[in-house]
Amino acid sequence: MKYVDEFRDGELARLLAATIAAEVQPGRTYHLMEFCGGHTHAIFRYGLPDLLPANIRLIHGAGCPVCVLPIARLDMAMALAKHPDVILCTYGDMLRVPGSGRTSLLKIRAEGNDVRMVYSPADCIRIAQQNPDKQVVFFAIGFETTTPPTAVVIEQASRLQLPNLSVFCNHVLTPAAMHGILDTRSSGEAVRIDGFIGPAYVSTVIGSDPYEPFPAQYGTPVVIAGFEPLDVLQAVLMLVRQLNDGRCEVENEFTRAVTHSGNHKAKAVVEQVFELRDTFEWRGLGFMPNSALQIREQYRALDAEYRFAGLLQQHADQLSRLPQDNKACECPQVLRGLKNPRDCKLFDNPCTPDNPLGSCMVSSEGACAAYYQYGRVKDRIPAVTVAPTVTEA
């Protein structure tokens, strides 16, 4: 594929890896967190840990939107889906995430409730227009990448005056999660992070500017990187050089897509439709202030939490009495970088992509899914290496 092969060149990958190996300082370990789940999958898909020196430790972060959604919010969505007048629309990954009592949206759909997978929030407008006797609810999740499309749909639905469409908003903010992870260093469960490999697609929207507080406040450098293997290796090299030089900056490796100020049009529509929540719960990180978005009062008629407030309150006590997450599941610790997926006693047996017991095994961006797919047991699954020419998309 044009413009992609050059970022998957095996010879260049080996040269970059050799440069990193030559520049790391003996006796020093570099703890680098790739925040985004897309980076985690790229790292394992192309066998990058086998190319890097042993003293480069890659830690997996909370950049999987499906993984960080707390079980209480999923339970609320399932309460909406069970209403006979509701069509609940959501992205495919959310269908199989286990909620309280090991139920899921997929199981609820099998019971006869109308739960539909959509590829775009815009699909919900068509569904609402085709089903005027039903209440269509879009279960919106994701970081800054998926927030603008949701904002556009809310604005369009408002202009069309659709009375039967609303949005259950669960959009969260990347910098807030990074703050939450670094703030845990002062608690009993501390994780050492020397530098961040910053997210790619999120940064195309928000730009590099929102990461500036991390060097200043925490002394933690950030290098924004694309998702191809050479992108990640170059970001690692840039972080190693910063740490070796005693520098602490925000650098942008993904210059072909990310600018300092980001996408002004996307940010403008988000600002028009959404505002900050005072607090929001994250799986693994708990309640964090100003870490998520809610729909502005101007568009409150399209807010499912406002429209269905009575229904959600009615189910709140019932849901609180149900069993919560599997206590043996280490997904919250994995999201904070405290544990590796292989540290979980459930990993591979019985928790697999076909029988997920935690959200990190469900999502296509989850760390557990990456470990399972690309290298769960080294003596059973050979390491994936970067071939001299890789052509698959």
For residue 300, is pLDDT > 90?
yes
pLDDT attached to residue 337: 87
Q: Whole-angstrom Cα distance, residue 231 to residue 7?
A: 7
For residue 392, is pLDDT > 50?
no
pLDDT range class, residue 311, cuts 50, 70, 90: confident
For residue 383, is it within any domain? no
pLDDT attached to residue 379: 34
Give tens-digit pLDDT for 7-49.
Answer: 888 899 999 999 999 999 999 999 999 988 889 999 999 999 9
For residue 111, is it within any domain? yes
Helix H segments across the chain? 10-23, 37-45, 48-51, 65-68, 71-81, 105-110, 123-130, 147-160, 174-183, 201-206, 213-218, 229-245, 264-273, 304-307, 309-320, 331-335, 359-362, 367-375
For residue 321, is pLDDT > 90?
no
For residue 348, which of 325, 371, 327 has the smallest C-alpha distance?
A: 371
pLDDT attached to residue 177: 93
Where in the sequence is the domain holding 278, given as residue range(s)?
67-174+262-320
Number of structural domains (the chain) is 1
**Are 384 and 374 contacting, i.e. CB atoms less than 8 angstroms apart?**
yes
Entry field: residues in the chain: 393
For residue 151, is it within any domain? yes
**Mean of the pLDDT values across residues 154-160?**
97
CATH number at residue 103: 3.40.50.11740
Q: Which residues are bridge partners to 223 per DSSP?
A: 197, 251
For residue 377, is it within any domain? no
Measured at the alpha carbon of residue 181, what is the angle toward residues 53 and 54, in degrees to the nearest 5? 10
Give tens-digit pLDDT for 205-238.
Answer: 999 999 999 999 999 999 999 999 999 999 999 9
pLDDT attached to residue 354: 87
Q: Whole-angstrom Cα distance, residue 274 to residue 251?
A: 29
For residue 301, is it within any domain? yes
Going by the DSSP 8-state scheme, the letter that residue 371 receives in this structure is: H
Give tens-digit pLDDT for 123-147.
Answer: 999 999 999 999 999 999 999 999 9
pLDDT attached to residue 380: 39
For residue 305, is it within any domain? yes
For residue 191, is pLDDT > 90?
no
For residue 33, is it within any domain? no
Give tens-digit pLDDT for 333-375.
Answer: 898 888 889 899 999 989 998 888 888 998 878 999 998 988 6
pLDDT attached to residue 393: 32
Give tens-digit pLDDT for 54-93.
Answer: 999 999 988 888 999 999 999 999 999 999 999 999 999 8
For residue 88, is it within any domain? yes
> For residue 87, which amino acid is it?
I
